[in-house]
Amino acid sequence: MNEPIPAPGRGRPGPMVATRRQRTMLTLGVLAVIVFAFWLFSGILTPFVLAICIAYFLDPMASRLARFGVPRGLAAMVLVLLLLLLCLLALLLLYPLIIAQIGVLLARLPGYIATINAGLRDFLLSLEEAAGPEMVDARLRELIIGQAGAMVSWLGTAATRLIGGGFALFNVFTLAIVTPVVSFYLLRDWPGIMARMESWLPRRSAASLRQLARDMDRVLSAWLRGQLLCCLVLGIFYASGLSLIGLELGLMIGLISGFLSFIPYVGSLTGFALAVLLAVGQWGDWNGVLLVIAVFTVGQVLEAYIIYPRLIGDRVELHAVWVIFALFAGGVAFGFLGVLLAVPIAAAIGVLARHWLRRYLESPLYLDPPRTGI
């Protein structure tokens, strides 16, 4: 007697197939958990995110040392210690100089304000003579001079408070202990962590997700390493150039310009504006301003035609406007933590957007021919 053939859906179970609804719910659930975790633990995540950035930055060097036969743990320890020594050396060398510059700024700030006010008053008087009292009268002139003096005074006071108390923004224990220790463990286990995360990818989309991850890594690594080197080179150039022309606070302005250069155009524009104001306050004539303009012009030429093409080039597919928006949006949302996460998230969104754009351009939604009749 023949056994009956099992009906579909009965007897031996068939292969498990995830539905579209299950895949959608999994994606939304993972995103919701990540966003909730950032919101809940945002107050303590900064040293860990900073450690991830350090491990990501040092991973290629650790992998190269491992290929030469150096144990991964030893390579990670050496690289983290070298980074700590470099930071300590920079702190020991630059902090006394910056404190001295702050003292000069506090001592000279009233004189700078008086010189700027006098120059502005002379300029407005000449403008009044040229345009007539109907366009520029005495009351408007005094109002502009008073507001300009108050603005310069506020900028000087804010800069001294920010730089003088900047180290109070970070917990000493966090900088000295937590971040280096977490960086060491992450750097030591980085290949294993990446392999474990890759093993968790859904098998249906694993190949596409791996390709997207490689594209994100290519864009992010090119921008991060290239931009850090750009900031270092520009900071050294501006600090040296402004100090050589005799600007009393040239070192501080140059370092500020280099540090802010990770935001496209913001560092150069901020440093240029501050340097021009200080040059007017220090010299009171246009000769010092012309020297400052010459330094920043040479810096922009070096950045546009030598530094940026050689260090970053065409490998970075992040538009400057997108980077600026991401940095400000991250800072508003999560503060310093948001600034650390802004560029990685911007790179990920950019890669995903290009991926979906390619799929759209290859889909019937785009290729559907136009109708020729009614």
5, with CB counted inside 10 A (0-12, 13-18, 19+), is exposed
Distances (CA, A) of 108 to 101, 103, 129, 245, 343: 10, 9, 32, 18, 39
Structure tokens at 92: 């020991």
160, with CB counted inside 10 A (0-12, 13-18, 19+), is middle
d(CA 295, CA 240): 10
pLDDT at 188: 93
One-letter amino acid of 313:
G
Name every residue whose Cβ is closer than 8 Å to that of residue 336 and which is 6 or more positions away in sequence. 46, 169
Q: Does a structural domain hold residue 74?
A: no
Contact between residue 220 and residue 347 where contact means Cβ atoms under 8 Å apart: yes
Q: Does a structural domain hold residue 241?
A: yes
Q: Does a structural domain hold residue 100?
A: no
Concatenating the DSSP letter of every residue in 8-62 gives TTSSS-------HHHHHHHHHHHHHHHHHHHHHHTTT-HHHHHHHHHHHHHHHHH
Distances (CA, A) of 254 to 213, 257, 306: 36, 5, 19
d(CA 365, CA 16): 31
Structure tokens at 76: 């990670």
d(CA 258, CA 234): 5
Q: Does a structural domain hold residue 276?
A: yes
Structurally, the chain folds into a number of domains equal to: 1
Per-residue pLDDT of the chain in tens (374 residues, 90 and over written 9): 455 555 554 545 545 677 778 878 888 888 888 888 888 887 778 788 888 888 998 999 999 999 998 999 999 999 999 998 988 888 777 777 777 777 777 777 777 777 777 776 776 667 666 655 555 555 555 555 565 656 656 555 655 555 544 444 445 556 677 888 899 999 999 999 988 888 888 887 788 888 888 888 888 887 777 788 888 888 999 999 999 998 888 888 888 888 888 777 778 888 898 888 888 878 877 788 899 999 999 988 888 787 777 766 555 567 777 888 888 888 777 776 777 788 888 888 888 888 888 888 887 878 777 766 55
pLDDT at 78: 94
d(CA 257, CA 246): 17
One-letter amino acid of 27:
T
d(CA 360, CA 70): 47
Per residue in 312-327, pLDDT tens? 655 556 777 788 888 8
pLDDT at 28: 87
Write out the residue range of the structural domain in which residue 239 sits.
Answer: 207-363
Q: Does a structural domain hold residue 328?
A: yes
DSSP, collapsed to helix, strand or coil, labels residue 301 as: helix
pLDDT at 74: 93
pLDDT at 189: 93
pLDDT at 1: 46
* CA angle (226 as vertex; 67, 73 as ends), nearest 5: 30
Q: Does a structural domain hold residue 319?
A: yes
Name every residue whose Cβ is closer than 8 Å to that of residue 97 and which is 6 or more positions away in sequence. 251
Q: Does a structural domain hold residue 227?
A: yes
Q: Does a structural domain hold residue 346?
A: yes
